[in-house]
């Protein structure tokens, strides 16, 4: 197979049918900064296909999560989340200790452990390993942190063919697209577009049958595993007291990537640590149920060191690259909780905003609610001013999170940080200042309310039909100023002529009269 | 018992009938209702937008107004959640008000939950009779006071109303897209969310939507009005008051 990234700019299939190519993969996750999400969000809300797929897939998985977790954990579901959250929080509180312990134990088991301060360092270490082994072909399992470092791009730039082996990621790679979900990366694509990409890039006959497509991918990928010089993986967990790495996959590709090629390189964010193997079941029980509503991931692979002399399988050499890339910044006490994330994607599945805008609207590697709080801290708040505000703060993410990250709380915190950094609009600042001032006294509050009422009722005109002074509300079709966005999509109700206080006074008089 | 009413700014100005219903029901049950007139707003609009300092002054006022209250009842899950979840985060550096904020949270109740959990009222036993085909909109901020997953608990209460034909809405747990300033700053996203909600309401073929939070009502009813979908919005408090003969049914 030729390099898919280079070929995918073609705009016609073998059948001559025109293809709608998505944005180049890289630009989707690494847009021009500062990032303005409004255009992509607007496009997404007008994209019927995306609306249908993302909506149905996320809702199905969210419902499966709820059903499975309630079935298994019952009233203890919340306690499980509390437990998982507290294990992660404890580990993060003592991360320096656990990282040292992990390095000692992994090294003792024969693994070479590297530490990378940022994306460039991480990729440079990997390129060096590739060079040492004169690598020509790399197979890779799914890993969000390698999306963060843009690893595939850097490997291919030096002529190392790098194949994504997770089926979803493989399809995205063929189509020069980018993941839009942490767990189900091609949630935004349909079968037909997969069929077209396969026909175009692999030269096979067009089919949109999922089984056939899977078989084609399997056939192509099997050979790649055998030929590969290096296998690259991410890591779901690192176990400090044994120096082990855990990867959880459903397709078995992770196991092939980490055991067939002679060299295995794991890219892992430093926050993926847990203290001991005894803590692992808590997360294995929660991870897959939270992610896709299945009892457990199909392949749970615990690796400690490379192949030993008496073992038949496994890599001869194993490297782990511990990656910081902004994590120590997030580790400061006021945002530390964010690093508990185990990348299950439950917050995306439960999020009504994600369901409408899809993953690419977040303009970064990490989409959805968790991305909306992580990305601004990773990449600079001023670069992602939309993300903290593009949420209704409904709290569905917090309810779904298996490690109890209070995402709405952090969205509000980041909003406060934007204001503290004077990133808010002057008119907003004055508006809220005046509103807040009017609320200090009941009479100014009431006067402001009356004033707004008169203004709105004048604009509502003939729409006021009810005669009851406590119900005679009308509708405004259009308002100017900061509230214009409201009437862009819906009518604005007016207050009735009399407020509750008027009734209360009358009520007291009547009672006194009795 | 003596119950102090926190009306909330939106119910005060926009939906006074909700407050009227709450007072009439509590008085009907033999309780004394007081309305501290210096009250204004819980400060949630500023808090959620990120104006923490402005919120702190408003929260302080709210705490002062209700300092001597035994019980505070409010017809809004959202405002109750603001007091429960967020007030204490405003006073991390002010031990005096932190203590007061916690005390206010401990005695503040959302009206329907106060009725069912504290007063142990069963609407069937109380004799609430109301005719109509209704669905229920779960307001997300009920999560902040412990009501999760689409509000099955509130639905159980609604089903106690004699004569009410209840129809379940699709995606009950999904937010309507209000989110305060979110609806103004991101009309495209918020608009898509509320359109989704309106479509779910249409599918129920209900004549009435029971919605206990004024913010959601403003948003969804405004979208129904724009879509020309004739459906009436009412709070459960109003249904109970009508169902007990304490309020005349709404006339148009």
Chain A residues touching B223 at Cβ < 8 A: 489-491
**Are residues B70 and B43 in contact, defined by beta-carbon separation less than 8 angstroms?**
no
Of A396, A490, A501, the CB nearest to B173: A396
CB contact under 8 A, A485 and B35: no
How confident is the model at residue A19, as a pLDDT? 41
Q: What number of other Cβ atoms are within 10 A of residue A226's Cβ?
A: 12
d(CA B49, CA B181): 7
Instruction: Indicate whether B252 pLDDT > 50.
Output: no
> Any idea which of A1-5, A133-137, A274-278 has the lowest mean pLDDT?
A1-5
Q: What number of other Cβ atoms are within 10 A of residue A422's Cβ?
A: 8
Query: Are B144 and B186 contained in the same domain?
Result: yes
How confident is the model at residue B148, as a pLDDT? 87
Query: Are B207 and B172 contained in the same domain?
Result: yes
Query: What are the distances in angstroms from CA A408 to CA A312, B85, B157?
Result: 49, 11, 28
Instruction: Indicate whether A123 pLDDT > 70.
Output: yes
Nearest residue on chain B to A350, alpha-carbon basis: B174
Nearest residue on chain A to B14, alpha-carbon basis: A495
Q: What is the mean pLDDT of residues B102-127?
A: 98
* pLDDT tens profile A255-271: 999 999 999 999 999 99
Residues in chain B: 252
Of B50, B188, B218, the CB nearest to A45: B188
Chain B residues touching A412 at Cβ < 8 A: 47-48, 50
How confident is the model at residue A513, as a pLDDT? 65
Question: Bridge partners of B109?
Answer: B73
How confident is the model at residue A216, as a pLDDT? 94
How confident is the model at residue B149, as a pLDDT? 75
d(CA A368, CA A360): 9
Average pLDDT, chain B: 97
Question: Bridge partners of A268?
Answer: A322
Residue bearing the bigger pLDDT, A26 or A334: A334
Is residue B7 included in any domain, yes or no? yes
Q: Is B230 on the interface with A (CB under 8 A)?
A: no
Question: Bridge partners of A116?
Answer: A323
Instruction: Indicate whether B109 pLDDT > 80.
Output: yes
Query: Are B109 and B142 contained in the same domain?
Result: no
CB contact under 8 A, A439 and B41: yes
Instruction: Indicate whether A17 pLDDT > 60.
Output: no
Query: What are the distances in angstroms from CA A428 to CA B45, B46, B181, B187?
Result: 12, 10, 10, 16
Query: Which residue, B62, B96, B117, sits at the end of a domain?
Result: B117
How confident is the model at residue A512, as a pLDDT? 84
Query: Are B216 and B157 contained in the same domain?
Result: yes
Query: Are B113 and B135 contained in the same domain?
Result: no
**Are residues A284 and A300 in contact, defined by beta-carbon separation less than 8 angstroms?**
yes
| Percent of the residues in chain B that have a pLDDT greater than 90, as a whole number | 97
Instruction: Indicate whether A66 pLDDT > 80.
Output: yes
Q: What is the mean pLDDT of residues A7-24?
A: 42
d(CA A208, CA A199): 10
Instruction: Indicate whether B225 pLDDT > 50.
Output: yes
End-to-end CA distance of chain B: give it in Å, rounded.
Answer: 36
Q: What number of other Cβ atoms are within 10 A of residue A484's Cβ?
A: 12
Is residue B103 included in any domain, yes or no? yes
Chain A residues touching B226 at Cβ < 8 A: 489-491
ipTM of the complex in this document: 0.97
d(CA A78, CA A405): 13
Q: What is the mean pLDDT of residues B222-243?
A: 97
User: What angle separates helix A77-93 from helix A95-108, to the nearest 10 degrees?
Assistant: 80
d(CA A474, CA A478): 13
Is residue B165 included in any domain, yes or no? yes
Is residue B252 included in any domain, yes or no? no
* pLDDT tens profile A465-485: 888 999 999 999 999 888 899
* pLDDT tens profile B133-189: 999 999 999 999 999 878 999 999 999 999 999 999 999 999 999 999 999 999 999
Residue A100 in tokens: 């040292």
d(CA A251, CA A263): 21
Q: Strands A161-164 and A244-249, how do they pair?
A: unpaired
Q: What is the mean pLDDT of residues B17-26?
A: 98
* pLDDT tens profile B112-121: 999 999 999 9
Residue A180 in tokens: 């839009």
Give the per-residue SS3 of A10-68. CCECCCCCECCCCCCHHHHHCCCCCCCCHHHHHHHHCCHHHHHHHHHHHHHHHHHHHHH
Of B14, B141, B177, the CB nearest to A495: B14
Query: What are the distances in angstroms from CA A187 to CA A56, A156, A422?
Result: 10, 26, 37
Query: What are the distances in angstroms from CA B81 to CA A20, A123, B186, B245?
Result: 46, 46, 24, 31
**Are residues A365 and A147 in contact, defined by beta-carbon separation less than 8 angstroms?**
yes
Of A390, A391, A432, the CB nearest to B51: A432
Nearest residue on chain B to A453, alpha-carbon basis: B13
Contacts with A379 (C-beta within 8 Å, 6 or more apart), sequence order = A33, A326, A364
- Sheet of B129-137, strands arranged across: B162-166, B129-137, B208-211, B232-234
Q: What number of other Cβ atoms are within 10 A of residue B122's Cβ?
A: 11
* pLDDT tens profile B22-41: 999 999 999 999 999 999 99
Query: Are B26 and B108 contained in the same domain?
Result: yes
Is residue B151 included in any domain, yes or no? yes
Is residue B251 included in any domain, yes or no? no
Query: Which residue, B70, B93, B117, sits at the end of a domain?
Result: B117
Instruction: Indicate whether A4 pLDDT > 50.
Output: no
Query: Which residue, B117, B150, B170, sits at the end of a domain?
Result: B117
- Whether the bond between A34 and the residue before it is cis, its omega within 30 degrees of 0, is yes
Instruction: Indicate whether A11 pLDDT > 60.
Output: no
Number of structural domains, chain B? 2
Q: What is the mean pLDDT of residues A266-280?
A: 98
* pLDDT tens profile B186-198: 999 999 999 999 9
Query: Are B64 and B154 contained in the same domain?
Result: no
* pLDDT tens profile A415-464: 999 999 888 889 889 999 999 999 999 999 999 999 999 999 999 988 88
Query: Are B157 and B208 contained in the same domain?
Result: yes
How confident is the model at residue A208, as a pLDDT? 93
Closest CA relative to residue A293, chosen from A229, A352, A250, A230: A250
Q: Which helix (H) or strand (E) holds A365?
A: none
d(CA A339, CA A403): 10
Query: Are B133 and B59 contained in the same domain?
Result: no
Hey, which residues 13-52 in chain B have their CB within 8 Å of chain A? 13-14, 16-17, 19-20, 23, 35, 37-41, 43, 45-52
> Residue A514, exposed/middle/buried by CB under 10 A (0-12, 13-18, 19+)?
exposed
pTM of the model: 0.94
* pLDDT tens profile A307-318: 999 998 899 999
A-B Cβ pairs (cutoff 8 Å, strict): 212
Query: Are B78 and B136 contained in the same domain?
Result: no
The shortest C-alpha distance from A394 to chain B (Å) reads: 5
Domain with B223 in it: 123-243
Nearest residue on chain B to A483, alpha-carbon basis: B184
Of A350, A471, A488, the CB nearest to B191: A488
CATH number, domain of B138, equals: 3.40.50
Nearest 5°: CA angle at A494, between B76 and B62? 35
d(CA B12, CA A31): 46
Average pLDDT, chain A: 93
> Helices (H) and strands (E) in chain B — how many of each?
14, 8
Is residue B209 included in any domain, yes or no? yes
Instruction: Indicate whether A9 pLDDT > 60.
Output: no
Looking at mean pLDDT, say which of A180-194, A414-428, A489-503 comes out highest: A489-503
Residue B228 in tokens: 């020309």
Query: Are B18 and B87 contained in the same domain?
Result: yes
Q: Within 13 Å and on the Cβ side, how many CA atoms surround A286?
A: 27
Closest CA relative to residue B114, chosen from B240, B217, B219: B240
> Helices (H) and strands (E) in chain A — how many of each?
25, 12
**Are residues A152 and A140 in contact, defined by beta-carbon separation less than 8 angstroms?**
yes
How confident is the model at residue A202, as a pLDDT? 93
Query: Are B109 and B169 contained in the same domain?
Result: no
Residue A482 in tokens: 């900061």
Buried b (16+ CB within 10 A) or exposed e, A266-285: bbbbbbbbbbebebbebbbb
Is residue B65 included in any domain, yes or no? yes
Structural domains in chain A, CATH included, are 4-30+94-325 (3.40.50.10420), 426-513 (no CATH)
| Percent of the residues in chain A that have a pLDDT greater than 90, as a whole number | 88
Instruction: Indicate whether A514 pLDDT > 80.
Output: no
């Amino acid at each position: 197979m030729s390099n898919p990234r280079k070929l995918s700019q073609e705009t016609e299939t073998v059948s001559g049918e025109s293809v709608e190519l998505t944005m180049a993969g890289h630009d989707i996750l690494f847009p021009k900064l500062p990032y303005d999400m409004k255009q992509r969000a607007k496009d997404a809300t007008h994209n019927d296909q995306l609306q249908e797929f993302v909506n149905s897939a996320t809702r199905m998985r969210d419902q499966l999560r709820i059903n499975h977790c309630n079935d298994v954990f019952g009233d203890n579901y919340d306690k499980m989340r509390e437990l998982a959250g507290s294990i992660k929080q404890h580990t993060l509180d003592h991360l320096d200790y656990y990282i040292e312990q992990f390095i000692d134990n992994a090294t003792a088991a024969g693994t070479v452990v590297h530490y990378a301060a940022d994306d460039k360092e991480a990729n440079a270490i990997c390129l060096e390993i590739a060079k040492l082994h004169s690598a020509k072909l790399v197979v890779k399992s799914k890993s969000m942190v390698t999306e963060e470092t843009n690893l595939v791009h850097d490997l291919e730039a030096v002529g190392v063919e790098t194949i994504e082996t997770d089926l979803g990621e493989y399809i995205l790679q063929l189509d020069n697209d980018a993941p839009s979900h942490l767990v189900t990366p091609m949630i935004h694509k349909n079968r037909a577009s997969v069929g077209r990409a396969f026909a175009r890039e692999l030269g096979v006959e067009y089919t949109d049958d999922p089984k056939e497509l899977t078989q084609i991918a399997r056939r192509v990928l099997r050979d790649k595993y055998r030929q590969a010089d290096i296998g690259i993986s991410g890591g779901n967990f690192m176990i400090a007291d044994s120096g082990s790495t855990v990867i959880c996959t459903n397709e078995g590709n992770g196991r092939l990537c980490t055991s067939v090629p002679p060299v295995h390189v794991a890219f892992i964010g430093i926050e993926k640590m847990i203290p001991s193997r005894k803590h692992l079941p808590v997360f294995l029980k929660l991870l897959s149920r939270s992610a896709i509503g299945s009892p457990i991931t199909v392949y749970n692979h615990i690796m400690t060191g490379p192949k030993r002399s008496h073992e038949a399988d496994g890599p001869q050499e194993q490297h782990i690259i511990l990656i910081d890339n902004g994590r120590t910044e997030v580790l400061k006490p006021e945002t530390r909780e964010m690093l508990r994330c185990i990348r299950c994607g439950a917050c995306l599945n439960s999020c009504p905003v994600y369901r409408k805008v899809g993953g690419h609207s977040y303009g970064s590697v990490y989409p959805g609610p968790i991305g909306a709080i992580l990305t601004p801290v990773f990449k600079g708040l001023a670069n992602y001013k939309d993300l903290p505000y593009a949420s209704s703060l409904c709290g569905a993410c917090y309810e779904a999170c298996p490690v109890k990250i209070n995402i709405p709380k952090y969205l509000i915190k980041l909003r406060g940080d934007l204001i503290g950094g004077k990133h808010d609009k002057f008119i907003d600042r004055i508006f809220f200042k005046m509103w807040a001032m009017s609320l200090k006294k009941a009479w100014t509050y009431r006067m402001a309310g009356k004033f707004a009422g008169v203004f709105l009722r004048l604009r509502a005109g003939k729409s006021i039909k009810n005669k009851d002074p406590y119900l005679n509300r009308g509708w405004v079709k259009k308002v100017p100023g900061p509230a214009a966005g409201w009437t862009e999509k819906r009518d604005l109700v007016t207050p009735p002529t009399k407020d509750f206080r008027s009734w209360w006074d009358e009520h007291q008089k009547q009672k006194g009269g009795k | 018992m003596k119950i102090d009413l926190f009306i909330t700014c939106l119910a005060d100005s926009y939906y006074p009938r909700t407050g009227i219903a709450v007072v009439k029901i509590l008085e009907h049950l033999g309780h004394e209702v007081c309305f501290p007139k210096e009250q204004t707003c819980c400060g949630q609009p500023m808090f959620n937008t990120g104006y923490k300092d402005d919120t702190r002054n408003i929260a302080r006022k709210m705490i002062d107004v209700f300092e001597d209250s035994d019980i505070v009842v409010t017809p809004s899950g959202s405002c109750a959640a603001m007091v429960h979840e967020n007030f204490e985060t405003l006073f991390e550096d002010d031990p005096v008000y932190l203590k007061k904020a916690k005390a206010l949270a401990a005695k503040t109740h959302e009206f329907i939950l106060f009725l069912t959990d504290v007063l142990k009222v069963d609407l069937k036993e109380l004799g609430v009779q109301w005719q109509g085909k209704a669905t229920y909109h779960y307001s997300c901020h009920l999560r902040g006071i412990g009501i999760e997953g689409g509000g099955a608990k509130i639905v159980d209460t609604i089903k106690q109303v004699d004569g009410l034909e209840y129809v379940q809405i699709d995606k009950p747990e999904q937010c309507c897209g209000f989110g305060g300033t979110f609806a103004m700053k991101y009309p495209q996203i918020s608009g898509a969310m509320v359109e989704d909600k309106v479509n779910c309401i249409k599918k129920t073929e209900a004549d009435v939507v029971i919605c206990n939070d004024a913010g959601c009502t403003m948003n969804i009813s405004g979208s129904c009005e724009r879509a020309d979908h004739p459906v009436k919005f009412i709070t459960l408090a109003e249904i109970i008051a009508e169902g007990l003969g304490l309020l005349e049914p709404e006339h148009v």
